[in-house]
């Protein structure tokens, strides 16, 4: 209850989760564009939670953090097997969420948000995650900014959170 992130911490400290983080890091060792590492995941978690609080919404902190730490966890499978990473992350998250203690409703919410994180949609939580994912990118401090194919109006030259 309340503010603790007990279930999220269980995932973060699990052997499987650590293995996938390592695989993402290995696949992106030479990547000059945005990485899909634990820093990105925590940026998304914190931004999404701030947005939710600012809007006076009632999403569980732990559900938001769970989505954020899992949304790109299968990125390595996109590199290795060409599976779109929202699908890969959805599959890996199903397993990682098992027996962590989320209710069935929360689990479904988390999994749906992972699966739809690459497109902005009608759903409020989906939209918060989508925005946070984009806002987390630090284009103003990026060495590869000029080469990046994000449109100029999408790039973050100012911080919002």
Q: Is 72 in the site for Fe ion (CB under 5 A)?
A: yes
Enumerate residues 98-137 that contact Fe ion by CB under 5 A: 133
The nearer residue to Fe ion, 58 or 161, going by C-beta atoms, is: 161
Half-sphere exposure of 22 (CA within 13 A, CB side): 7
Structure tokens at 122: 């009608």
Q: How far is the CB of 30 from Fe ion (least distance, A)?
A: 19
Size of the site for Fe ion (CB under 5 A): 2
Q: How far is the CB of 146 from Fe ion (least distance, A)?
A: 22
Q: How far is the CB of 46 from Fe ion (least distance, A)?
A: 13
Q: How far is the CB of 41 from Fe ion (least distance, A)?
A: 8
Q: Which of 31, 115, 102 is nearest to 66 (CA)?
A: 102
- Please name the residues in contact with 114: beta carbons below 8 A apart, sequence gap of 6 or more: 67, 70, 71, 86, 89, 90, 93
Contact range with Fe ion by CB under 5 A, out of 18-26, 66-74, 94-102, 107-115:
66-74
- Please name the residues in contact with 102: beta carbons below 8 A apart, sequence gap of 6 or more: 7, 62, 63, 66, 110
How far apart are the C-alpha atoms of 48 and 125, rounded to whole Å? 9
The nearer residue to Fe ion, 56 or 69, going by C-beta atoms, is: 69
The nearer residue to Fe ion, 101 or 121, going by C-beta atoms, is: 121
Residues of this chain that bind Fe ion (CB under 5 A): 72, 133
């Amino acid at each position: 209850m309340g503010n603790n992130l007990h279930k999220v911490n269980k995932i973060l400290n699990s052997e499987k989760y650590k293995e996938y983080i390592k695989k993402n890091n290995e696949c992106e060792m030479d990547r000059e564009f945005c990485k899909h590492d634990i820093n990105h995941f925590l940026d998304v978690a914190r931004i999404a939670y701030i947005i939710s609080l600012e809007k006076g919404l009632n999403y569980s902190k732990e559900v938001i953090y769970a989505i954020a730490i899992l949304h790109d966890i299968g990125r390595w499978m996109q590199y290795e097997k060409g599976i779109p990473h929202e699908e890969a992350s959805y599959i890996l998250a199903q397993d990682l969420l098992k027996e962590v203690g989320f209710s069935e409703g929360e689990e479904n919410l988390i999994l749906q948000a992972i699966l739809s994180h690459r497109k902005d949609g009608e759903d409020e939580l989906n939209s918060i995650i989508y925005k946070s994912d984009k806002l987390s990118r630090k284009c103003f401090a990026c060495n590869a900014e000029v080469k990046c194919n994000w449109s100029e109006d999408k790039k973050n030259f100012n911080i919002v959170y």
